[in-house]
A = this chain, B = another copy of it.
Amino acid sequence: MEIVADEVISSRTGSDSDGDKGFVVTPWVVKGQLDYAKLVEQFGTTPISKEILERFKKITGEIHPFLRRGIFYSHRDLDWILDRYEAGEEFFLYTGRGPTGNVHLGHLIPWIFTKYLQDKFGAELYFQFTDDERFLYSPKETLENTKKTAYDNLLDLIALGFDPKKTFVFLDTDYMETMYPIAASIAKHVTLSSARSIFGFENSTNIGMIFFPTIEAATCFLPCILKGKNIPCLIPAAIDQDPYWRGVAREVAPKLGYYKPAQIHGKFMPGLGQGGKMSASQPETAIFTTDSPKTVEKKVLSSFTGGRATVEQQRRLGAQADICPVYHYFYFLFEQDDSELGRIYNDCTSGTLLCGDCKLLLAERVKEYVIRHQEKREKARQLVDDFIVSDVRGGLRKKSGLS
């Protein structure tokens, strides 16, 4: 699983209007200038409607900025999840990460949203580190390293404030006695030809990768199996993971007697370069949670912007907020107040706010955020045992007090 994939993103491929060819979104490659309306169409999902936002408001008393601003924009069966919830049936959350390297802000987006869902709905979270898949996918990667990375990434997750009583984190390779029988039960219903058509596997693909989708899909049913009852599942994640859910978990669920997992899809936070999502493979345009304040400042101040060639032009024409990562950083994470955000947008596009000042403002906020996050991240080192489950530790059953 790679909620935000880390492949090289070239700047726009093809022309702006060449939407279909201008981007690629698969579980392993996300590149190009993403057109989210086209993604909804391509993946056959449903945009989040005003009605759904109203239902969120009714239930939670608010609409999270990520929802208001369309950062979470698409879903599958989210209305059904709300139906079940309103009928008194708890659901669980499932998300995860392929531990490839340091966590950046783009990775935090779905986790922050997941934390909000946990808080508002009292939902348990099952968080899967797919250390096996990262190992199988990357020729040079070792299992020791992906495991080490997972434990390091876990600090970022804990730093966000998840409820340890309701959050169950596991590494695939530490939890396979529990996961494999579920994965095998799924695999029995997935033919090679389906897997090839869903994931585009080639003759050169290794057979670990071919089996892996069943392990990522297995978590959709894990709590049901452990608790011996059907429980609705909601997966907050980027849409690139959709083949696992639509192609595998949702197809197989009825055959195993479980609910189909529902999904809510987030947008990718952009990098600080021109176009494309934030990516660990372009570290100069990504803010890592472990970056020093000085590095953060330097990266933000070096950001591409939607500014004009000269101050005079910018004063006259205004800057282009819509293509500006600096503006989008406020939009995603660093200005929660809509009217303040509107002011930044207006000042930018009217030419009142110049890019230098805007970047300084953002740099301060990102620095503050990262410093605070790093403090919590350090404290998280003491909390790992409260979150992790594994077969050796007696697993989820033990942690949940299940017999």
Chain A residues with a Cβ under 8 A of chain B:
132, 135-136, 143, 172-177, 179-181, 183-185, 187-193, 195-196, 201-211, 213-214, 390-392
State the oligomeric state as a number of copies: 2
**A108 to chain B: closest CB distance in Å?**
28
**Shortest 3 CB-CB contacts between residues of A and residues of B:** A187-B208, A211-B211, A193-B203
- Contacts of A208 on B, CB cut-off 8 Å? 183-184, 187-188, 190, 211, 214
Q: Which B residue's beta carbon lies closest to that of A173?
A: B181
- Contacts of A176 on B, CB cut-off 8 Å? 176-177, 179-181
8 Å CB contact of A187 from B136, B204, B392: B136
- Contacts of A177 on B, CB cut-off 8 Å? 173-177, 390-392
- Contacts of A206 on B, CB cut-off 8 Å? 187-192
- Contacts of A180 on B, CB cut-off 8 Å? 132, 172-173, 176, 180
Alpha-carbon gap, A210 to B176, bound state (A):
18
- Contacts of A191 on B, CB cut-off 8 Å? 203-207
CB pair A207 B203 closer than 8 Å: no
Alpha-carbon gap, A189 to B210, bound state (A):
13
Contacts A176-B180, A192-B201, A391-B392 known; 4 new A-B pairs at CB < 8 A = A184-B208, A187-B207, A189-B206, A191-B206
User: Interface of chain A, helix or strand or loop or mixed?
Assistant: helix
- Contacts of A213 on B, CB cut-off 8 Å? 207
Please judge, given known A-B contacts A143-B181, A177-B175, A193-B203, whether A188 and B136 are in contact too, CB under 8 Å.
yes
Alpha-carbon gap, A181 to B189, bound state (A):
23
8 Å CB contact of A207 from B132, B173, B192: B192
Please judge, given known A-B contacts A176-B177, A177-B176, A180-B132, whether A211 and B204 are in contact too, CB under 8 Å.
no
CB pair B211 A187 closer than 8 Å: yes
Q: Which B residue's beta carbon lies closest to that of A180?
A: B176
Q: Which B residue's beta carbon lies closest to that of A190?
A: B207
**Highest count of chain B CB atoms <10 Å: which of A173, A189, A192:** A192
Q: Which B residue's beta carbon lies closest to that of A172?
A: B180
**Highest count of chain B CB atoms <10 Å: which of A174, A175, A188, A390:** A188
Alpha-carbon gap, A195 to B201, bound state (A):
14
CB pair A192 B211 closer than 8 Å: no
Alpha-carbon gap, A187 to B196, bound state (A):
17
- Contacts of A188 on B, CB cut-off 8 Å? 135-136, 206, 208
